[in-house]
Amino acid sequence: MADYAKTAAGVLAGVGGEDNVTSLVHCATRLRFVLKDESKADAAAIKATPGVITVAQAGGQYQVVIGNDVPEVFAEIGKISRVGGGQDTAAATGPKGNLFNRFISMISAIFTPALWTLAGTGLLKAFLSAAATFGWIDAASSTYMVLYALSDAFINFLPMVLAITAARYFKANEWTSLAIAGALVYPTVVAANGAPGLTFFGIPFTMVSYVSSVIPIIIVVWLQSHAEKFLYAKLPAAIRRFVTPMIVVLVAVPLVFVVVGPISDLLSRGVGNAVSWVWDVAPWAGGAIMGGLWQVFVIFGLHWGLVPVFQVEFQTTGQILLIGPVFAAVLAQAGAVAGVWVRARNKNLKSLAAPATLSGFLAGITEPAIYGINLPLKRPFAFGIVGGAIGGAIIALGGVFSKAFVVPSGLALTALLGNGNMVMLGLGLLVAIVLPFLLVVIVGFKEPADDAATPTDSAPASANDVAVLAPVDGTVIPLNEVADAAFADGALGHGVAIQPRSGAVYAPFAGTVVAAFPTGHAFGLRHADGAEVLIHIGLDTVKLGGAHFSVKVTTGQQVAAGDLLVEFDGDAIEKAGYDLTTPVIVTNPDLYPAIADAAAGPIAHGEPLFTAVSVDAVAATK
């Protein structure tokens, strides 16, 4: 049995005694000292103390890693000294996360809950397009009408879908967000797209299409979240529940129409005019821009500025030159996600890449590929841009054009056949598809599954093995990539880490909450079979003193798999300078000495994360 008093005495002596301690707090696994003079601390003596795992110095703290027994050691230090009892709430100053990476993380988190439905309906639309193209179904029939509606509705009303996920991400009222999004895609509003002379109380504005849009609703829900916090703090409790959404909707919707719409229209027109000018001067350069950046334009809604250019060109000449390279842009992203499908080792990634590839190639629906895979993984998206740019330039040099406005896709290629140099068209499309595919397969991308296998990946299953589910949405990385030595070297136990994309943590299995820290930064859970798992939200986040965390459970509480443990404001935590990487580790290696079947890459809470392998299973391999 551990001698906590002996450990406490040894640690206190090792840090230079009570007089050398300015403050002491503890988190889930370690004692965190602020020392007056760190040179007086004897790291070797502390490490030699029974019960101590290691010593780390970070963030102005002298950290003594104990493990699960840290509360007991902390309590013993309090018995033999006046040290302890306070909370260090000072936020460490540190660099904020890369803005581009944070943007990608935000987009991915908001899209993640909708990806499977987006992929499924997109694939259905692709099959429906193929059936109509080959004459298997009459496009004028009521059957086609019903099938088209159920396959297109989800992406058509995408702002309403994103209103819900964005509200959850930004901690806004979902129903108010839905009311805002509903106004953006309301039939009369959609019909007013491009209508002249529109005003709102005398303020002129330009109505643009918000159907299938992404950025406007995300921006307005972010603003909504801040407005709601302000109004709830200022309005009397008796009226704030209904007055807050009334004010928010009344301000937010006109704000989008009067401000976001005209800005979007101005930028779109600027993009359209710039591309047209480049096309006139150097068609190959225009083709490269269209092929390389079309999907970027789509992400920000700037592609709408090119649609009128298509229409004007068609009305003037009876053909559309600019649309040819867009085929390269679309099929290049499909080629990139096909490369992910081939190369990825993570089952979740492969299963999402399969329908995303088919819907991208057949119907030109690239949203599942871009938002679910290529953009979060970064390299595939960049490789798609490269392939699209080169392929688009080749197609433009061939003078390829369309005699109709079509949605670029594999099935719509018939619109280009016989119009221009077909050899250049074939070469351009081949480059656009094959180049990103090969780059993804050969060069690869940042997939944690490429790293060394976790311990005992080949261990046989045992009745006592415990399946641990992902507690949070995010991206799984190996534990050795965590920027904290005590976690990275496995001193606290085997496991993985997750870089969160949402602000909620859920129980990874049914069991008992053995430690629910009031600061909300860490939770310990015990499975009925004995496996103990620690979920540590961020690094050094105990120093926030509970700020930005909302704890939903208590120590000793029984939870089911998927029960909400805590909500946190990831943006605020990162702005305070903290790394949100969340280690998930098995902390009783005497009973569960290894893990197996560790996931990698993007993951959603509730999906399999790893298996805690029991000592019986490990022994069976020897």
pLDDT in tens, 60-97: 678 888 876 777 888 888 888 777 643 333 333 333 44
Give the up-direction half-sphere exposure of residue 386: CA atoms within 13 A in the CB hemisphere. Answer: 14
What is the three-class DSSP state of 609? strand
φ/ψ of residue 285, rounded to 5: -70, -40
| Strand pairing class (522-527; 199-200) | unpaired
Among the options 494, 521, 536, 548, which is catalytic? Answer: 536
Among the options 27, 494, 527, 605, which is catalytic? Answer: 27
Q: Is the pTM of this model over 0.95?
A: no
- Residue partners of 262: CB distance under 8 A and separation at least 6: 205, 206
- pLDDT per residue as tens digits for the range 469-499: 999 998 999 988 888 877 887 777 889 999 9
What is the three-class DSSP state of 597? coil
Amino acid 565: pLDDT: 94
| Spatial separation of the C-alpha atoms in residues 302 and 16, rounded to whole Å | 62
Burial 188-226 (b: 16+ CB within 10 A, else e): ebeeeeeeeeeeeeeeebbbbbbebbbbbbbbbbbbbbe
Amino acid 484: pLDDT: 83
DSSP 506-544: E-SSSEEEEEE-TTSSEEEEEETTS-EEEEE-SSSGGGG
460 — pLDDT class (breaks 50, 70, 90): very low
Partners of 559 in beta bridges: 511
The DSSP 8-state label assigned to residue 134 in this structure reads: T
CATH topology of domain 454-620: Glucose Permease (Domain IIA) (2.70.70)
DSSP H or E run through 75 = helix 70-80
Choose between 404 and 483: higher pLDDT.
483
For residue 140, what are its two tokens? 């004028």
500 — pLDDT class (breaks 50, 70, 90): very high
Q: What dihedral angle (degrees, nearest 10) is formed by the CA atoms of 139, 145, 148, 150?
A: -160
Choose between 49 and 270: higher pLDDT.
49
Tell me whether residue 548 is one of the annotated catalytic residues: no
Q: Where in the chain is the domain with CATH 3.30.1360.60?
A: 4-80
| Spatial separation of the C-alpha atoms in residues 63 and 60, rounded to whole Å | 9
Give the up-direction half-sphere exposure of residue 611: CA atoms within 13 A in the CB hemisphere. Answer: 17
Amino acid 332: pLDDT: 94
Look at the alpha carbons of 458, 459, 462, 468 in this order and tell me if their dihedral is positive or negative: negative
Cβ pair 128, 120 in contact under 8 A: no
Amino acid 90: pLDDT: 31
Does CATH place domain 4-80 in 3.30.1360.60?
yes
